[in-house]
C-alpha cells in the first residue's frame, strides 16, 4: 500500500504515455503522466475496447513511466497487489487525505465512503469523500475503485461504473493466490 505521496518539482518536464492492458475480456487504455520523480496521473480512457489499437505510445524518455506501466501490467496479469511507483497527485489537502486513506484499503477488499471519512477523523464527511475520490488523478494506484456505499452497492467511479466492477472482479479473482504468495515470502 502506498504510504505517502512525494512532492515533485513542478518545473520539471511532464511526460505522457498511453498504454493498453488486458482486463478480463476487455482492453483498458490507460493514460500515464509523470516527471522523473513522481507519477502525476493515471487515467482510464473511455469504454472497454474489444481489441488493442495498432498504435501505442512507447517513445517517452522517462523510466518512471516505464516502471508504472510494468507495475500496471503485473497488476492486470494478477501478479501484483501493491505498487511501488512514487505518487505525486495534485489536489487540496483534504483530497490528499482522502486519497491516502483510500490507499490503506487492502487489495481485493472494499470499504465505504464513511469508513474513509472515519479514517480521516471526520465521520460526517462521507459525501465530501465521494467528491474527492471523483477527482482522483491516479486511478488504480490510488484504489478509489475499492470504495463503495455503506450498503455495499458500488456508487460512482469517474472512468465509469463498468470499470469499477471489472477492477473489483479482477482483484477478487486473484486475491487469494496473491495473499498466499505474499505471506510465504514474508514468513521465510
Contact 112, 154 (CB under 8 A): no
144 included as an active-site residue: yes
Q: What is the distance between the terminal CA atoms of the chain, rounded to a whole angstrom?
A: 21
CA-CA distance, 29 to 148, in Å (whole number)?
Answer: 23
Contact 5, 89 (CB under 8 A): yes
Catalytic residue among 105, 144, 147, 178: 144
Residue with cell 516502471: 67
Instruction: Count the residues in the chain.
Output: 188
CA-CA distance, 88 to 21, in Å (whole number)?
Answer: 23
Active-site residues, by number, are 144
Amino acid at each position: 500500500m502506498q504510504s505517502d505521496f512525494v512532492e515533485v518539482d513542478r518545473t520539471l518536464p511532464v511526460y505522457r504515455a498511453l498504454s493498453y492492458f488486458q482486463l478480463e475480456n476487455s482492453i483498458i487504455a490507460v493514460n500515464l503522466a509523470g516527471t522523473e520523480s513522481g507519477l502525476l496521473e493515471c487515467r482510464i480512457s473511455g469504454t472497454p475496447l474489444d481489441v488493442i489499437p495498432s498504435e501505442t505510445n512507447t517513445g517517452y524518455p522517462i523510466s518512471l513511466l516505464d516502471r508504472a506501466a510494468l507495475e500496471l501490467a503485473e497488476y492486470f496479469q494478477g501478479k501484483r497487489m501493491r505498487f511501488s511507483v512514487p505518487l505525486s497527485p495534485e489536489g487540496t489537502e483534504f483530497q490528499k487525505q482522502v486519497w491516502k486513506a483510500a490507499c490503506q484499503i487492502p487489495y481485493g477488499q472494499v470499504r465505504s465512503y464513511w469508513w474513509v471519512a472515519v479514517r480521516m477523523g471526520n465521520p460526517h464527511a462521507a459525501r465530501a469523500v465521494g467528491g474527492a475520490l471523483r477527482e482522483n488523478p491516479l486511478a488504480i494506484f490510488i484504489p478509489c475503485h475499492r470504495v463503495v456505499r455503506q450498503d455495499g452497492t458500488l456508487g460512482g467511479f469517474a472512468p465509469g461504473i463498468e470499470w469499477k466492477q471489472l477492477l473489483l472482479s479482477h482483484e477478487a479473482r486473484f486475491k487469494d493466490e496473491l495473499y498466499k504468495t505474499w505471506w510465504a515470502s514474508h514468513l521465510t
